[in-house]
Structure 1
Amino acid sequence: MATDSSSQKLAHIHLGVDGGAERFFLRLSGALARRGVRQIAFIRPGRPWRDELAQHCDVREVRFSRSHFKRHVIRWNISRQIRKFGATATLGWMSPASKWMPKPGPNMRTFLRLGDFPDGFRTYGNVEQLIGNTPEIIRQAVEMGWPADRAHMISNFVDPLPEDLEPVNRADFGTPQEATVLIALGRFVQRKRFDLIIKALEKLPDTVHAWLIGDGELMDELKTLAATLGVTERTHFLGWQRDPSPFLKAADILVCPSDDEPLGNVVLEGWNAGLPVIATASQGPSWLIEHGKTGLLVDCGDVEGLVGALRGVMGSESLENQLILGAAKCLDDRYSEDHTLISYLGIVA
């Protein structure tokens, strides 16, 4: 990409903890840095990805407060540092960042990037423009009253996996080498519906295992479900992984079973790892996936449909290859780094 961005300066405000949104934040800021954009980021203390971010970004750790008075002081201090840095734009990440955005001016524009649906604009007073990573997020924002001419759709991208990336050793995670491994990633919360995978396991051959990568409030409930259905030995809770790539490379099928998924970064990550993807037809996966060509879609909450789709992929090498090849082309055509960076550099940096 030939865009000259060596004189551009961008400030980020990111209050997230650890997850798909944070992985994309690191990915985007790193890509912008490689194109010469100087960046400063305001984050909470103790984030596990802080040092990785600091490799290409000036990191300022801030103790954000719920106190109304302290919020004004903290926002003033952030604004002062952004002005001193000379940022030409500030990019807030998700709605919580809107509370801390500086006022825009003739020399500094403000953007808020949404990876989930907005729940109102009460704290958006200093936000000039919205960026959503799916058309549905933008559609809902405009329907709620946000001006359409100040809303932009820019989707995510994923980094190609290193050619020499080594997969994890299945035996290290109690999984037979000959098993068919289903992999799912995310927070163990109700809307992610990891229970569907466990229920599907009960109806699939004993050679099928599931790797559930993540953590959350439903961990104990999911473990109890696996025990009740007699699939504990085939359900592997692998915790939150900073880099899931070696696990993806060692798996066979990626499953995204969510009832509510604005985008579905995991779909892109599955495609990127060369895996066939099966997802429930929530908002993001329905937009990303062309059924039968780049993945398979089943109805939300439909265990039998999920089992049928899994059996279809496991029983047909031609279908598996068709999905993998179709996904690879879609990823290259629509979700490459260059494609996404052109859009961001055109309006933000």
Structure 2
Amino acid sequence: MKILHFHYGTDGGAERFFVNLATALHARGVEQEFFVRPDRSWKSDIDKLGKVHEGYIRPLSLSWLFLPGRIRRIVKTFQPDVMMGWRPRVIRLMKNYPHILRVGRLGDYPTKLGAFASADRMIVNTPGVAERFVNLGWTKPIDVVSNFTRVKPCAPIAREKLSTRHDAFVVVAVGRFVKIKGYDMLIRALARLPGVILWLVGDGEERAALEKLAGELGVIDRIRFTGWQADPAPFLAGGDVVAISSSHETLGNVILEGWSMGLPVVSTRAKGPRWLITEGEDGLLVDIGDDAQFAAAIDQLRESARLRDHLTSGGRRTLEQRFTVDAVTTAYLDVLERGIKEHSKKCGGGTR
């Protein structure tokens, strides 16, 4: 199987999963090439998996004028069985290739279907996203295949590197600093938790606002802003609890990463975490935006080693039963192989 990926993401959990899946497909013998935005921090991770083409897709730009010709040449040379678009904007780039199976992959809730018109089928990562597509009028095939994480237990980052005492209770949050991640609520929760340290692993447009809020609440000295980290595993390994404070989270890759690292998880009741977590068995759930509830859940974990062990065991069990690399990769291959066969019949022959 040959797959030509179009991915125009930046840096975050979705991009980590893209790299993880491409790596897993490569290990299964799938040939891949990639069309990505220039200067991605994860480009070196996919360089070894197949040829990487870089370019911008800004309308009316010089690169936009030459883009159709570039794609034609790539397709002619590589002859993919599948074109896979990882963002609505790039799915449109596949419209001129009806003889190739065109798969859209989305990890968020669509608001309208126009951007997906060029896709022959969709792969989404939760039942809620599939339901939204159907409610909007989607009639083509759609498959739900969840994410996995390749994060494995590893040596923790030395706490002294983050000016953190060895006996401190550390909450770790990983992600982009954008409003929907709810880090302002998490900082307010921290203000209710004397002595707790918060590691914010990431960066983004909200950083200045978060630092300002932390200063106003008098907790800036208990927050460690680590900056963006290509590998968050050592930071997770060095913490005591993983926190997901989002107001909107389609899935929640950090939950899978936390389970993999053997940490208990506290999350808001955003749609993705509600689907992933069985409350009280592999995580704790609190209402979106409720810093008092969030603080109480963290404090409950701080005070009870027994509860931490219970949730950690449950998380590991859930991960092994539902979200292993092999299970998810096999599901992707099954969907794509079935799609190629169906598309070949529809086109009256080969897909290339």
Aligned residue among 141, 149, 160 for 1:171: 160
TM-aligned CA deviation for residue 124 of structure 1: 2.4
TM-aligned CA deviation for residue 119 of structure 1: 2.3
Partner of 1:218: 206
Unaligned runs of 5+ in 2: 338-352
Distance 1:80 1:126 in 2: 19
Secondary structure of the corresponding residue to residue 89 of structure 2: helix
Distance 1:84 1:64 in 2: 21
Distance 2:96 2:329 in 1: 25
Distance 1:261 1:194 in 2: 13
* TM-score, L = length of structure 1: 0.93
Distance 2:58 2:205 in 1: 24
Write the deviation string for residues 139-159 of structure 1: whole angstroms up to 9, x where unpaired.
111111111x51111100011
Secondary structure of the corresponding residue to residue 142 of structure 1: helix
Whether the 8 Å contact between 1:75 and 1:101 is mirrored in structure 2 is no
Distance 1:73 1:99 in 2: 15
TM-aligned CA distance change 1:170 to 1:70, over 3 Å: closer
Distance 2:265 2:156 in 1: 18
Whether the 8 Å contact between 1:94 and 1:116 is mirrored in structure 2 is no
Partner of 1:341: 329
Partner of 2:251: 263
Partner of 1:25: 18
Write the deviation string for residues 20-41 of structure 1: whole angstroms up to 9, x where unpaired.
1111111000000001000000
TM-aligned CA deviation for residue 75 of structure 1: 3.1
* TM-score, L = length of structure 2: 0.92
Q: Which amino acid aligns with 1:339?
A: A
Partner of 2:118: 126
TM-aligned CA deviation for residue 76 of structure 1: 4.2
TM-aligned CA deviation for residue 121 of structure 1: 2.1
TM-aligned CA deviation for residue 316 of structure 1: 1.2
Aligned residue among 27, 35, 40 for 2:28: 35
Partner of 2:350: none
Give the root-mean-square deviation of aligned CA atoms: 1.6
Partner of 1:109: 101
Write the deviation string for residues 145-194 of structure 1: whole angstroms up to 9, x where unpaired.
111x51111100011515xx321111111111111110001111111110
1:55 aligns with 2:48: yes
Write the deviation string for residues 67-97 of structure 1: whole angstroms up to 9, x where unpaired.
2996474134214312320210011102121
Q: How does 1:171-320 map to 2 (within 5 A)?
A: 171-206=160-195, 208-320=196-308
1:325 aligns with 2:313: yes
TM-aligned CA deviation for residue 221 of structure 1: 1.1
Whether the 8 Å contact between 2:56 and 2:64 is mirrored in structure 1 is no
Unaligned runs of 5+ in 1: 1-7
Whether the 8 Å contact between 1:111 and 1:128 is mirrored in structure 2 is yes
Secondary structure of the corresponding residue to residue 212 of structure 1: strand
Identity across the alignment (%): 38
Q: Which amino acid aligns with 2:106?
A: L
TM-aligned CA deviation for residue 260 of structure 1: 0.6
How many residues are aligned here? Answer: 337
Larger deviation, residues 193-202 vs 236-245: 193-202
Distance 2:22 2:158 in 1: 31
Q: How does 1:43-82 map to 2 (within 5 A)?
A: 43-67=36-60, 71=64, 73-82=66-75
1:141 aligns with 2:133: yes
TM-aligned CA deviation for residue 301 of structure 1: 0.6
The structure 1 segments of at least 4 consecutive aligned residues displaced by more than 4 Å after TM superposition are 68-73
Q: Which amino acid aligns with 1:213?
A: V
Distance 1:80 1:284 in 2: 39
TM-aligned CA deviation for residue 322 of structure 1: 0.8
Secondary structure of the corresponding residue to residue 10 of structure 1: strand
Secondary structure of the corresponding residue to residue 109 of structure 2: coil
Distance 2:158 2:237 in 1: 10
Secondary structure of the corresponding residue to residue 225 of structure 1: helix
Q: Which amino acid aligns with 1:118?
A: P
Distance 1:223 1:77 in 2: 44
Distance 1:345 1:189 in 2: 33
Partner of 2:146: 155
